[in-house]
Amino acid sequence: MVSTIFVGLVDLVSGVRLWPVWTALAREDIDDQHRRTTLGPVWLTINYLMFAGTFIFVIHPSNTEQGSIYAPYAAIGLMIWFYLMDNINQAVTLFAREESYIKGTRLPLSVYIMRLGMQALIRAVYTLTGCLAIVLISGFFPTFGWLWSVLAILVILATIPAAIILLAMLGTFFPDSQFIISNLMRVGMFLTPIFWIYTPGEGGARGMLYYWNPFTYYINLVREPILSGAPHISDAMTCIAISAFAWILALYLLGRLRHEVVFAL
Amino acid sequence: MNISLDVRNVSLIYPLRTKFSLAPKDHRVGGRDKRINGQGRLRFVKALNDVSFSLSSGDRLGLIGNNGAGKTTLLKVLYGIYPPSHGTIAAQGRIDALFNINLGFRREATGRRNIELRGLINGWTQSEVDARMEEIVAFSELEDFIDMPIKAYSQGMAARLAFSVATSLKPEILLMDEWIGAGDPPFQEKSRQRMRELANRAGIVVLASHNHKLLRDTCNKIMMLDKGSVLHFFPDIDAFEKHSC
């Protein structure tokens, strides 16, 4: 198993080294999507602001304690969710979309993984701008505690390639998964504490959705330092454990299946 | 450096993977071809069977055979796209390939940007791209259009650009799936000349084609494939000519 993980790691490193290729392709992908528009990718910020603004306006709780933090709470949750959803939904069909490259070039599979990660990151920068605007307008201004959120974002960024590998492999060998995943992500937005606030000690379905949902921990990790000044250690430990497990499994699958993908497309 | 390509007992078993799916069963994968073995979800085709040959600097190998004989598959195995199931490939020298020259071209991007992207995909560094840029633009004769999106190009202009980028190689071992050409008659002559120069510059060329005349003119060795196996290996063109008569 260790040697297989090492093979996966070699593929990953060789792909990362080709950063001029995947950054150029990702930039071109984003430009292509907005080339004919006047505002270009700024539409991503506008879309986010409209979506987040509508939800905050409609769902804003009357409870003063929750109401005072609700706008940044929902804005940050939604920004992270959009970034994760973008990666996850596209990862399932990644290798099928890249078939002509995979069957026509010798680029390592990790080039396509990084290309998708980079695309989603560029889009996320535009939503981040909108999110920051909502947070600042809500009266939350930068403190040193926000550095924890920056660190949390780095943890998410570092985990995304592993998630893309896992889902791309799943989608390649089980094509139906693209529909299962997109449906799960659609309902997942409502099952994850993005718009609703969990009250500690609350049991029932909400408690289960809160504790058994891995997205909860990543979103909390970014959100808590901005709202309360520091992250919860338990969130950080859970995220690191999930990320480490995801990476081990992803590298194993990449090492084990990287030569099989070309035959499965 | 001594350029060589040594292929020993290479076979490729291509799995006809029936993916786990809830969709109705796909019956397009037939079972009549004797090369298709296995049952149910574990079907496979022996796309290459025990292929061996050895080439050294100056060799030009032509691959012939009917459609489905394994020519393109062999080229892709040599290039490293398909890993061989058995056997070994030992290459001394950098391998370049001309398979799909339009791969990676983006309609919305300018000609110049497409040259850059294609170069990066080929494995060139940014400074190599910059160094070759003007030569590629000049060869394509698209100087006045190079900063326009290629969706504004005619088919012929786009083909000229694709050809110019794809053949801007300094190959040591060159793999080609059919001889490529592009453009109007004057450009076609220019592209023929370019291809001849490219083949001459390469230490080793492996060219798959149905054009026997082209292979006679270009190659010094011919390998005939049939259903993934080597039917004949002609060590020189005279032997191939005798067999063809």
pLDDT digits (tens, 9 = 90+) for B91-118: 998 888 888 878 888 988 999 999 999 9
> Where do the structural domains in chain A lie, given as residue ranges?
2-264
Does some domain include residue B143? no
> Residue B1 pLDDT > 90, yes or no?
no
Per-residue tokens: A1: 């198993």
Range of the domain at B84: 4-94+207-244
pLDDT of residue B21: 64
pLDDT of residue B31: 52
* B100 touching chain A per CB within 8 A: yes
Helix runs in chain A, H state only: 2-17, 19-34, 42-59, 64-91, 94-97, 99-102, 109-137, 146-173, 177-191, 204-211, 214-228, 233-257, 261-264
Does some domain include residue B22? yes
* B127 touching chain A per CB within 8 A: no
Per-residue confidence band for B197, with pLDDT thresholds at 50, 70 and 90: confident
Is-contact B19 A175, C-beta < 8 A?
yes
Domain at B9, CATH number: 3.40.50.300
> Residue B30 pLDDT > 60, yes or no?
no
Phi first, then psi, for residue B4 (nearest 5°) are -155, 160
ipTM: 0.82
Output the average pLDDT for chain B: 85
Pairing of strands B60-64, B86-92: unpaired
pLDDT tens, per residue, chain A with 265 residues: 889 999 999 999 999 999 999 999 999 999 888 888 889 899 999 999 999 999 899 888 877 777 788 999 999 999 999 999 999 999 999 999 999 999 988 899 999 999 999 999 999 999 999 999 999 999 999 999 999 999 999 999 999 999 999 999 999 999 999 999 999 999 999 999 998 888 887 778 888 888 999 999 999 999 999 998 888 899 999 999 999 999 999 999 999 999 899 998 8
Does some domain include residue B84? yes
Q: Cβ B17–A176 below 8 Å, yes or no?
A: no
Tell me the shortest Cα–Cα distance from B83 to chain A, in angstroms: 7
Is-contact B63 B207, C-beta < 8 A?
yes
Q: Return the percentage of chain B with pLDDT > 70, whole number.
A: 89
Substitution target from B120, B148, B150 for chain A, most A beta carbons within 10 A: B120
Is-contact A171 A91, C-beta < 8 A?
yes
Residues of B in contact with A173 (CB under 8 A): 17, 19-20
Per-residue pLDDT, averaged over B51-70, amounts to 90
- DSSP letters, A115-139, are HHHHHHHHHHHHHHHHHHHHHHHTT
pLDDT of residue A204: 82
Shortest CA distance to A168 belongs to which of A156, A181, A150? A181
How many contacts (CB atoms, under 8 Å) link A and B? Answer: 61
The gap from C-alpha B40 to its chain's centroid, in whole angstroms, comes to 33
Residues of A with CB under 8 A from a CB of B: 20-21, 24-25, 28, 31-32, 35, 100-107, 173-176, 259-260, 262-264
Is-contact B77 B52, C-beta < 8 A?
no
SS3 per-residue string spanning chain B = CCCEEEEEEEEEEEEEECCCCCCCCCCCCCCCCCCEECCCCEEEEEEEEEEEEEEECCCEEEEECCCCCCHHHHHHHHHCCCCCCEEEEEEECCEEEECCCCCCCCCCCEHHHHHHHHHHHCCCCHHHHHHHHHHHHHHHCCCCCCCCEHHHCCHHHHHHHHHHHHCCCCCCEEEEECCCCCCCHHHHHHHHHHHHHHHHHCCEEEEECCCHHHHHHHCCEEEEEECCEEEEEECCHHHHHHHHC
pLDDT of residue A111: 96
pLDDT of residue A4: 92
Phi first, then psi, for residue A191 (nearest 5°) are -95, -5
Residues of B in contact with A101 (CB under 8 A): 103-104, 121
> Residue B70 pLDDT > 70, yes or no?
yes
CA-based torsion, A224, A226, A228, A232: positive or negative? positive
Shortest CA distance to A109 belongs to which of A153, A63, A172, A156? A172
Does some domain include residue B138? no
pLDDT of residue A200: 81
> Residue B26 pLDDT > 80, yes or no?
no
| Range among B11-20, B46-55, B196-205 with highest mean pLDDT value | B46-55
Range from A10-14, B98-102, B141-145, B209-213 carrying the lowest mean pLDDT: B98-102
Residues facing A198 on adjacent strands: none
Higher confidence at residue A250 or residue B1? A250
* B22 touching chain A per CB within 8 A: yes
pLDDT of residue B103: 83
Tell me the shortest Cα–Cα distance from B173 to chain A, in angstroms: 15
The tally of domains found in chain B comes to: 1
